[in-house]
Amino acid sequence: MYLQPSPSPHDQRKTILVVDDTKENLTVLAGLLGGEFRVRVANSGERALKAVRLPPLPDLILLDVMMPGMDGYAVLKALRADAGTHHIPVIFVTAMSADEDEEHGLALGAVDYVTKPIRAAILQARVRAHLELKQARDTLASHNDDLEREVRRRMGENELIKAISLNALATLAEKRDNETGNHLYRTQAYIEILMRHLATHPDFCDQLDPGSQELIAKAAPLHDIGKVGIPDAILLKPGKLTPEEFEIMKTHSQIGADALGEAIERVLTHSGIDPGNRQGPNSSLSFLDVARQIALHHHEKWDGSGYPHGLAGDAIPLPGRLMALADVFDALTCKRHYKEAFTPARVHTLITEGRGVHFDPRIVDAFLELEGVFLDIAARYRD
């Protein structure tokens, strides 16, 4: 038997579920608490577990220990194992008064232990105290939930602002270059599919976890930010650059890396941030570190013949190696002010010939498996 009175919508009293296998005890407890609280009763452990799920959810449970079938300890274990009821405070009300009995009940998760025969004043005081504690915990939990929602909202806004700012900077560089309006979208998409493919490769899985992939993808649009420092006469020249002009053009890698490095140090200096804490996928500045790597190293070549530092092989940071292939593929497939677009067959030949020379061989192998997807992206974001 369990009793479930229909609650009045105007009854704002706290709900207490009383569980005892003796009818007289249920009557006594209901009488002691019924004026101040809304009382429901159940005369077995099994029925208590059914009653506890009926609305309204109890604010507190008074639970007898020694009951036939399912005893109070088993009921408490079941309540604590259920995500819907684990937070309801439980007070054991029992004739078992040995210290070890009380210790066992508290160890299982009971909040208090009241012995029979019941003293009305003590029982009522304990019930009020634990209901007040529960209300305080509920209020704190609600405030914490509100705070977490607000933090998530503001973090979302910050990420949006950061993304817009990054793309504004990157677009500024591309507009000066006047190469291709969708160059940023394409190269970012190329890098994303390469990373997803290479994330299962034993040589790259440690470097391409989901957080690192996100950082590299976000940072990729800044790869040519240094072009803002190249004179228009060279940047926009319609024909082939002279050796002297090309040397100036090559400085855009270092210009971009230096600008991003200075931005990082300026933020650290004015914000009092420990420089050692700016690394890693959870740092707000880590994407700028990755962007600096990409800007500096995306013209390095696998055989060491690239610039600005002539790095070779795995000494070239992975973000730079990824951007190297994405950037060259886009340059080959698109019309520029100094050249026409190459055919897919010609692009395939040039990328393949660059395997182990210009590009990381493993990245070229991934490209060859994804070549159709690359061409689809190029068509989707065609200028």
> pLDDT > 90: what percent of the chain?
54
Res. 239: pLDDT tops 90: no
Residue 279 has pLDDT above 60, yes or no: no
Q: What are phi and psi of 98, to 5 degrees?
A: -65, 150
Q: Token pair of 345, please?
A: 């067959």
Q: What is the pLDDT of residues 162-217, one digit of tens each?
A: 666 666 666 666 666 655 558 888 999 999 999 999 999 999 999 999 999 999 99
| DSSP-based three-state secondary structure for 71 | coil
Q: Report pLDDT for 178.
A: 52
**Tally of CB atoms within 10 A around 41:** 24
Q: What is the pLDDT of residues 10-69, one digit of tens each?
A: 678 899 999 999 999 999 999 999 889 999 999 999 999 999 988 889 999 999 999 999
Per residue, the 3-state secondary structure of 145-203, as one string, reads HHHHHHHHHHHHHHHHHHHHHHHHHHHHHHHHHCCCCCHHHHHHHHHHHHHHHHCCCCC
- Whose CA is closest to 192, among 349, 374, 376? 374
Task: Supply the pLDDT for residue 212.
Answer: 94
Q: 290-302 burial by CB neighbour count: b if 16+ within 10 A, else e?
A: bbbbbbbbbbbbb
Please list, in sequence order, all residues whose beta carbon lies within 8 angstroms of the beta carbon of residue 45, skipping any fewer than 6 positions away.
Answer: 19, 67, 69, 70, 71, 72, 74, 75
Per-residue pLDDT tens digits for 340-368 = 889 999 999 999 999 999 999 999 999 99
What gap in Å lies between CA 74 and CA 17, rounded to an integer?
Answer: 16
Q: 118 burial class (0-12, 13-18, 19+ CB within 10 angstroms)? A: middle
Q: 3-class DSSP state for residue 68?
A: coil
Q: Which of 180, 164, 166, 170 is nearest to 378 (CA)?
A: 180
**Residue 344: what are its φ and ψ, rounded to 5°?**
-55, -35
Is residue 295 within 8 A of residue 224, CB to CB? The reply is yes
Q: What is the pLDDT of residue 275?
A: 56
Segment 88-95 mean pLDDT: 90
Question: What pLDDT is recorded for position 158?
Answer: 73
Winning range, highest mean pLDDT, from 89-98, 184-193, 224-233, 330-339: 184-193
pLDDT of residue 17: 95
Going 359 to 362 to 365 to 371, the CA torsion angle's sign is negative
Residue 87 in contact with residue 109, Cβ under 8 Å? Answer: no
Look at residue 80 in the predicted model and tell me its pLDDT: 92
List of residues 6+ apart from 342 with CB closer than 8 A? 332, 333, 350
Greater pLDDT, 315 or 238: 315
Query: DSSP readout, 280-340?
Result: STT-TTHHHHHHHHHHHHTT--TTS--SSS---GGGS-HHHHHHHHHHHHHHHHS-BTTBP
173: number of CA atoms within 13 Å, CB side?
23
Average pLDDT, the chain: 87
More confident residue, 373 or 119: 373
- pLDDT in the model for residue 209: 95
The pTM (predicted TM-score) of the whole model is 0.60
Q: Tell me: pLDDT of 291 over 80.
A: yes
Give the pLDDT score at 269.
75
**Which residue from 97, 1, 89, 7 is spatially nearest to 43, judged by alpha carbons?**
1
Residue the block writes with tokens 């560089």: 173
Strand order of the sheet with strand 2-3?
A: 2-3, 38-42, 15-19, 60-63, 90-94, 112-115
Query: What was the pLDDT predicted at 282?
Result: 44
267, 266, 226, 270: which is closest to 249 by C-alpha?
226
Domains of the chain: 2-143 (3.40.50.2300), 178-380 (1.10.3210.10)
Q: No. of H helices and E strands in the chain? A: 14, 6
In this structure, are strands 60-63 and 15-19 parallel, antiparallel, or unpaired? parallel
Task: Give the Å distances, CA to CA, from 274 to 191, 212, 258, 266, 293.
Answer: 31, 21, 20, 12, 20
pLDDT, greater one: 300 or 152 = 300
Reported as a pLDDT band with limits 50, 70 and 90, residue 280 is very low
User: What is the average pLDDT across 273-287?
Assistant: 58
Is residue 263 very low, low, confident or very high in pLDDT (cuts 50, 70, 90)? confident
199, HSE (Cβ side, Cα atoms, 13 Å): 15
Express each pLDDT in 127-163 by its tens digit.
999 999 988 888 888 888 888 888 888 877 777 666 6
